[in-house]
Structure 1
Amino acid sequence: MSLRIYGNRQLKTLPGQNTRPTPARVREAVFNIWQGDIRGCRWLDLCSGSGAMGAEALCRGASVVVGIEQLGKACATVRQNWQQVAKPEQQFQVLRGDVVKRLLALKGQQFDRIYFDPPYASDLYEPVLQIVARDRLLAPDGEFAVERDPKREMVAEPPELELIREKVYGNTAVRFYRWASAEG
């Protein structure tokens, strides 16, 4: 299976639903919301899947893209997709492993944009939100988007992060967070 991203570029995906790609209209909406903030940013792609979100960020001028994905075959696909679209001055890295454990290794780094698209039925939401807030992985003026099933109740969010908007696109909802006013 393949999918298309910004600039009509074609990416590879794995067969089946193990790495459910973010729907095209959701990708487009997220990048429309963040359109003035991608060029030169540091992007963190959590539960990368096919790498479509990180590839879009690279195509739109992100300077650094880091992805975390658990499945080995998916990591190879992400690497291949990002290599295909990255310019020589852009950096990217794909980290294989459990997203919670790999996030802990990123302590001390900050990202301008973080996109988190876990398996919707997973129990990853709360620990990932907590680690991003506790370890200050989000840059002071950054935003953090969390993709989820709109029918599923959202977990308790850390008080350091403020929900600034939520958009629903059919079977996909995206919540956008930034630092709460006093945290920035």
Structure 2
Amino acid sequence: MPEQHSTLRARRRAETQRLIQAHAVRLFTERGYDATAVTEVAEAAGVSPMTVYRHFPTKEDLVLAGAEARSVAERIAASPGDQPLVRRIGRALVGAATELTETGDGRFLLARLRLMITTPALRAKHLDNQYALQQAIVTALGDGEDSAFRTRAATGACLAALHTALVRWAEEDGRTPLPGLISEAFAAAFGDQAP
């Protein structure tokens, strides 16, 4: 029975987070990120400001928080270790993008991405998130100390290719499938090593 309560609690928490984030992205898009207060987001979502901060510690997290890093790290950890690093990372990124765009709301993802591209405070937070994603990937690859520099460099280059694909996807208003753009960016950057 306690496990059932835990699952229900986790599901309610995720639903509350989705609701708050959806209202935040809508308001930020309509009114502007800097012109919208967290209290307005709370009011639109029908929750208290404290509830918003419990789920999203910073205003930036309202746009950028997601489970993408965990999904990518899990995919990399499950990938065959005998493949080149760039291919393992690329396949994980393409797989995560496929999952996000097929099971999620593509318009919502585009709105989040556009906010990130156009809002200086969000670009700074995005850089923090990129660093956290890089750390998650390096940890998932599990390479030893001797190859840590090589792994970090390869991961950083892969994330730069991903960023290029994401910006292109936003510029094209999502007309081209994101997984294809990521593959195209990897092919341009890495040639034969691409996924």
Fold-level similarity (TM above 0.5): no
TM class, shorter-chain normalised?
A: under 0.3
- Which of the pair has more CA radius of gyration? 2
Report which of the two has the higher share of strand: 1
TM-score w.r.t. length of structure 1: 0.24
* Higher RCO (C-alpha 8 Å, min separation 6): 2
Higher helix proportion: 2
Q: TM-score, normalised by structure 2?
A: 0.23
